[in-house]
Chains A and B, each alone.
Chain A
Amino acid sequence: MTNLVEIRGLTVEATTDSGRWFQILKGIDLDIAAGETVAFIGESGSGKTTAAMTLLGYARPGCRISGGTVRVDGHDMVTLSEKERAALRGTVVAYVPQSAAAAFNPAATIMDQVIEVTRIHRLMPPDEARRRAVDLFRALSLPDPDGIGDRYPHQVSGGQLQRLAAAMALIGDPKVVIFDEPTTALDVTTQVEVLRAFKAVTAKRRIACVYVSHDLAVVAQIADRIMVLRNGAVQEIGSVDDILTRPTHPYTKELLHAFHPDTGGRIAAAEAFATNSVPLLEINTLSAGYGPPQSNGQPLVLAVKGVSLQVKRGTNLGIIGESGCGKSTLARAIAGILPASKGDIQFDGRELWHSARQRSREQLRDLQIVFQHADTALNPAKSIEDILGRPLTFYHGLRGKARDARVDALLDMVRLPRALRHRRPAELSGGQKQRVNFARALAAEPKLILCDEITSALDTVVAAAIIDLLKELQRELGLSYIFISHDLSVIEAICDEIIVMYRGQTVETIIPSARQQPQHPYSKLLFSSVPKLDPTWLDTLNLDADRMRVA
């Protein structure tokens, strides 16, 4: 046997609620050698996680492995009994989940959970396991490796928790590790550290890795080979260099293209930006935060500290910063969800109340907000028709035929088939849901739309399509957007002006059309942390200088 992992003709089937079975993986062949990293890349629903899970011999409830073989270190995971598979999981194959925060038990200390694998498989005495764990913590460059195990999961940061999840997977000394989008939920600045730690540890131990991701740039840093999946079938498989420089399949080309969003079309707006001086939204020294008011009238924790900004009619403002910098709080304060504690908001020439409750219906209609997670922003119990129809009835008094016609028009506007109107949100894909989420804001016919990280839960191709749609609608309807994101490429593609936020304050304003380079050390760090398609980027990156200056 030459390869550690050999997959031959693998098919997986899923069942629907009427009992019909259909294929979600349509015959996959793959070999992985020891110490090699193969990335599974594709949009959501392409079957990349399903394919990775078969290495554990696992199919999600309602799914089953219907054909083919998955040989891992000589064992066929498909034909083994559940008990035999369980014996291999953790010792031969291990898994690092997407959300470490959800994977840890909040009621037990980190150390107990990390060494659990050795306890279950009776690999070594607890004291030895703890020493091993500490070594792993050190190898993954976690701070305070001797003490971090005594903490509880909520006492460490998201990036640290993700590395701890990797330690949990590595403690049983597996030969294959599956990373399921481990950095998707992290900031760019944190992502760099986590990727480095993963790369160092797996290379040193010659562990074969399967890295599931939708981010081509991240994959370029960590993988040796890339397998591109779509609709459950392999589109293309090749070395990182081949895929990045000589893609042959149209879908791969599309993926690569999505990585360089089209910044054209902003020139006209940039001109408008220069000539048009009437601000649509003007904010002066706005502060907002959480907790009970203190003696000075300010809340206990101030998340936004005296931010001022302007949005001119027909132009877009981008707000960028890492999580916890106060960018979402700022959006909530503007929308009136979290009443600002200080400062004033001028909208369309009139002063706005801080609390949405006191604003008039007309003011609420003019300023819409689109939330990040379309899953929670759409009521799962209602049809798309009802979701889009409600603002039409509420703001414009439309009913019956007029309302139906307008719902159709809105679905056309966001490029969704009209037949979707009878479906429920759970029956749509992530990109479709986000389009519905956006169409609901359009239904109100607003002047300004606050987009809070609306593309960050989507994969690159879908996100690029949404951005194109947003630009097109802006040309047609004369909207303005405030675009909040931690993804620089998205913001650069659509915004006329970018504000960099750090610890509740704006540190810099950048106008991309003027080819302006960031000056502030934090902006520099942020901009340089965005992964590049160049496979050598991570190894040559030197962020420490920037990080020192920010600190």
Chain B
Amino acid sequence: MKTHSSTGSRASTGFIAARSGYRVNTVGLVSASVVIFWALVALFAPYIAPHSAGEMIDLDYFGPMRPGLWLGSDYLGRDMLSRLIFGARYTVGISLAAVTIACFTGVVLGMTSAVLRGPVDMVVSRLLDALNSIPSKLFGLMVVAAVGSSIPVLILTLSVIYIPGAYRFSRALAVNIDTMDFIMVARIRGEKLPYLIWSEILPNIIGPVLADLGLRFVFIVLLLSGLSFLGLGVQPPFADWGALVRENIGGLPFAAPAVIVPSLAIATLTISVNLLIDNLPQKIRDRSAS
């Protein structure tokens, strides 16, 4: 006899068979709440922040946590909680916009190249390979130095940096799908490119593409934080989380919450996004189950 009983194996996978016919994973549930939490914070920042981002309210700098100043104060005596809440707007907003543009463009180009092959594939692949060969931080520095830092510039720069990766990834997946007979059937039915990529290929690669999107979101958050850390990201008095870490780095010797809290915020967001994408709800296809 195999050792585990049926109830034992059910408990070990730890899922909730919801009435909707979807299996929801506990890890997925927790990470989804964290992501939704940060999204809501970003959305309603002006209503929930006790102070404005630039207002100095504490006489001391790097103040500890205390009632009224829940996350302490930063290097200029500003309320850290408010700065963190406003920072969420930049970190979540810019990264989300950039990752959407990067993955959409990359995946569409990747599937197109895989389906059309030949010269189109050749030209697009070589161009994006060339782009890929430029170190990402250097490219960001160069663009910001040339045209100055603004939010649209940051979004576009970050997405351009991550398009080649998304392209390579989706092209590799789509090339495999393209050799399947059902693509051949669709081709000799006379189907055109948009149908082939959206209806035949995309549904078969959507899982890995989403996982890749999560990974790339994390890369973008980190790169944006890196750029802000160098002073090239979001400009004062506003700051994204990366900038918050940089400007409060002087608080490290004092164990100031001002430097720890934004680091934790970056960590919770990036880890949750990845866990969420790895644990998306799965449809239960066994209909006879009670």
B204 neighbours in A (Cβ, 8 Å): 379-381
A79 at the interface (CB under 8 A from B): yes
Closest-CB distance, A379 to chain B (whole angstroms): 4
A378 at the interface (CB under 8 A from B): yes
Known: A79-B1, A364-B188, A394-B189. Contact between A21 and B6, CB under 8 A? yes
Q: Are B286 and A361 in contact (CB under 8 A)?
A: no
Known: A17-B23, A17-B284, A376-B180. Contact between A65 and B191, CB under 8 A? no
Name the contact of B9 in the complex, choosing from A19, A78, A395 (C-beta under 8 A). Answer: A19
Interface centre among B13, B187, B188 (most CB of A within 10 A): B188
B185 at the interface (CB under 8 A from A): yes
B184 at the interface (CB under 8 A from A): yes
B203 at the interface (CB under 8 A from A): yes
A335 at the interface (CB under 8 A from B): yes
Alpha-carbon gap, A116 to B45, bound state (A): 65
Q: Please, which residue of chain B has its CB at the minimum distance from the CB of A18? A: B289
Within 8 A of A (CB), among B158-198: 180-182, 184-191
Residue-wise interface mask of B (1-29) relative to A, using a CB-CB cutoff of 8 A (1 in contact, 0 not):
11000100110010101000001000000
Q: Please, which residue of chain B has its CB at the minimum distance from the CB of A378? A: B182
Closest-CB distance, B5 to chain A (whole angstroms): 10
B15 neighbours in A (Cβ, 8 Å): 19
Name the contact of A377 in the complex, choosing from B182, B284, B286, B289 (C-beta under 8 A). Answer: B182
A369 neighbours in B (Cβ, 8 Å): 185, 188
B282 at the interface (CB under 8 A from A): yes
Q: Please, which residue of chain A has its CB at the minimum distance from the CB of B6? A: A21
Closest-CB distance, B111 to chain A (whole angstroms): 14
Residue-wise interface mask of A (367-404) relative to B, using a CB-CB cutoff of 8 A (1 in contact, 0 not):
00101010011111110000000110011000000000
Name the contact of A427 in the complex, choosing from B181, B285, B289 (C-beta under 8 A). Answer: B285
A337 at the interface (CB under 8 A from B): yes
A247 neighbours in B (Cβ, 8 Å): none
A19 neighbours in B (Cβ, 8 Å): 6, 9-10, 13, 15, 17, 289
A97 at the interface (CB under 8 A from B): no
Q: Are B180 and A66 in contact (CB under 8 A)?
A: no
Alpha-carbon gap, A376 to B9, bound state (A): 33
Q: Are A424 and B189 in contact (CB under 8 A)?
A: no
Interface size class on chain A is 35 or more
Q: Please, which residue of chain B has its CB at the minimum distance from the CB of A356? A: B188
Q: Are B191 and A394 in contact (CB under 8 A)?
A: yes
Alpha-carbon gap, A64 to B6, bound state (A): 10
Q: Please, which residue of chain B has its CB at the minimum distance from the CB of A425? A: B182
Alpha-carbon gap, A87 to B160, bound state (A): 56
Interface size class on chain B is 20 to 34
Alpha-carbon gap, A63 to B65, bound state (A): 55
Q: Are B284 and A18 in contact (CB under 8 A)?
A: yes
Alpha-carbon gap, A158 to B208, bound state (A): 34
A516 at the interface (CB under 8 A from B): no
Alpha-carbon gap, A377 to B23, bound state (A): 29
Name the contact of B2 in the complex, choosing from A65, A335, A378, A427 (C-beta under 8 A). Answer: A65
Known: A17-B23, A66-B1, A380-B204. Contact between A371 and B285, CB under 8 A? no
Alpha-carbon gap, A16 to B290, bound state (A): 12
Name the contact of A18 in the complex, choosing from B23, B189, B190 (C-beta under 8 A). Answer: B23
B212 at the interface (CB under 8 A from A): no
Closest-CB distance, B18 to chain A (whole angstroms): 11
Q: Please, which residue of chain A has its CB at the minimum distance from the CB of B185? A: A377
B282 neighbours in A (Cβ, 8 Å): 17
B247 at the interface (CB under 8 A from A): no
A371 neighbours in B (Cβ, 8 Å): 181, 184-185
Alpha-carbon gap, A59 to B1, bound state (A): 11
Closest-CB distance, B173 to chain A (whole angstroms): 13
Closest-CB distance, B246 to chain A (whole angstroms): 45
Known: A17-B285, A18-B23, A18-B284. Contact between A379 and B188, CB under 8 A? no
Q: Please, which residue of chain A has its CB at the minimum distance from the CB of B182? A: A379
A27 at the interface (CB under 8 A from B): no
B278 at the interface (CB under 8 A from A): no
B13 neighbours in A (Cβ, 8 Å): 19
B200 at the interface (CB under 8 A from A): yes
Q: Are B203 and A337 in contact (CB under 8 A)?
A: no
Closest-CB distance, A19 to chain B (whole angstroms): 5
Alpha-carbon gap, A59 to B4, bound state (A): 14
A-B contact pairs, 28 of them (CB 8 A): A15-B9, A16-B286, A18-B284, A18-B289, A19-B9, A19-B13, A19-B15, A20-B290, A21-B6, A67-B1, A78-B1, A79-B1, A336-B188, A337-B184, A356-B188, A361-B190, A364-B188, A369-B185, A377-B181, A377-B182, A379-B182, A381-B204, A381-B206, A390-B186, A394-B189, A394-B190, A395-B189, A440-B185
The 5 closest A-B pairs by CB, nearest first: A381-B203, A18-B289, A16-B286, A377-B181, A64-B2
Q: 18 extra interchain contacts, Cβ-Cβ under 8 A, other than A16-B289, A65-B2?
A: A16-B286, A17-B284, A18-B286, A19-B15, A21-B6, A65-B1, A335-B188, A337-B187, A361-B190, A371-B185, A376-B180, A376-B182, A379-B182, A379-B203, A379-B204, A380-B204, A427-B285, A444-B189
